[in-house]
Amino acid sequence: EVTLRLTGVTKTYNAGTPAAVEVLRGLDLALTKGEVVALVAPSGAGKSTLLHIAGLLDTPDGGRVEIAGADMTGASDHRRTVMRRDEVGFVYQFHHLLPEFSAQENIVLPQLAAGVPRAQADARARDLLGIVGITPRAHHRPAALSGGEQQRVAFCRALANSPSVLLADEPTGNLDPATSDTVFEALMTLVRETGMSALIATHNMQLAARMDRQVRLEQGRVLPA
């Protein structure tokens, strides 16, 4: 079962001007359910562009993006927004948690926005916090949590609405090596226990080696690492 499929995706910034930058040149990539794939790319190779297109934050010039079996070619903004909310989770290097809300509330809010009843959203948040091992921190605000704890909350929030695909950009990039390791293990456990698939961009080759598969982004295409 394929959760994310990119076929022949092309993207050029400033097309038709002297400043044109051809970033993606017919990129093909497919993630199957339960798979964790490392995306390894030098800076400037187009990693953010790829993640933004895969996550429906940006549209390709050509090619096709399919999420959870749905072809998003020509989809309306509304449909893209709904798909992004329900089927895609994002994790960034910096977590962007809402500072005035507790860990638990940060995980509950996206569920309420998606129409999940409060009691069910609370139960889901507690389950997720349990999986990443920070149940005792549920009612703390982000400022009262360590960097690693904050990032684990961000993972839980990204997975709150049970998306088909998790997209992560250097999710442990701002953590020290030991914390990075714990947080990475928590992420792997979450992905496995929720049965989603994940595309994780990283410069950390040790972490990349622990994922199911590595791909390299080079010259606008994806190659086996």
Using CB under 6 A, which of the segments 85-93, 127-135, 154-162, 178-186 binds ligand ADP?
85-93
- At residue 1, the 3 state secondary structure works out as coil
Which whole-number Å values give the CA distances from 172 to 7, 48, 75, 162, 198, in the listed order?
A: 29, 16, 33, 21, 14
User: By CB under 6 A, is residue 75 in contact with ligand ADP?
Assistant: no
- Binds ligand ADP by CB under 6 A, chosen from 5, 47, 80, 152: 47
Decide if residue 207 touches ligand ADP (CB under 6 A).
no
Q: Say how far apart CA 16 and CA 35 lie, in whole Å.
A: 38
Taking CB under 6 A as the criterion, the residue among 9, 36, 46, 110 binding ligand ADP is 46
Of 47 and 124, nearer to ligand ADP (C-beta) is: 47
Site string for ligand ADP, 158-177 (x = CB under 6 A): -----------x--------
CA distance 50 to 26: 12
Identify the residue among 8, 15, 21, 176 touching ligand ADP (CB under 6 A). 21
Q: Tell me the window of 45-53, 136-144, 153-161, 187-195 that interacts with ligand ADP (CB under 6 A).
A: 45-53
Which of these segments, 2-10, 88-96, 97-105, 107-115, binds ligand ADP (CB under 6 A)? 88-96
**115-154: contacts with ligand ADP (CB under 6 A):** none
106 belongs to the binding site for ligand ADP (CB under 6 A)? no
Strands (E), the chain: 2-13, 21-32, 36-40, 62-67, 70-71, 88-91, 165-169, 197-201, 213-218, 221-224
Q: Which of 4, 31, 41, 132 binds ligand ADP (CB under 6 A)?
A: 41
For residue 131, what are the contacts with CB-CB under 8 A and spacing of at least 6? 156, 186, 189, 190, 193
Distance CA 225, CA 197 (A): 19
Write the CB contacts of 181 (distance below 8 Å, at least 6 apart in sequence). none
Task: Evaluate whether 4 touches 66 at the Cβ level (below 8 Å).
Answer: yes
17 lies in the binding site for ligand ADP (CB under 6 A) = no
Hey, how many other C-beta atoms are within 10 angstroms of the C-beta on 20? 10
Contacting residues toward ligand ADP, per CB under 6 A: 13-14, 21, 23, 41, 43-49, 57, 90, 92-94, 96, 169
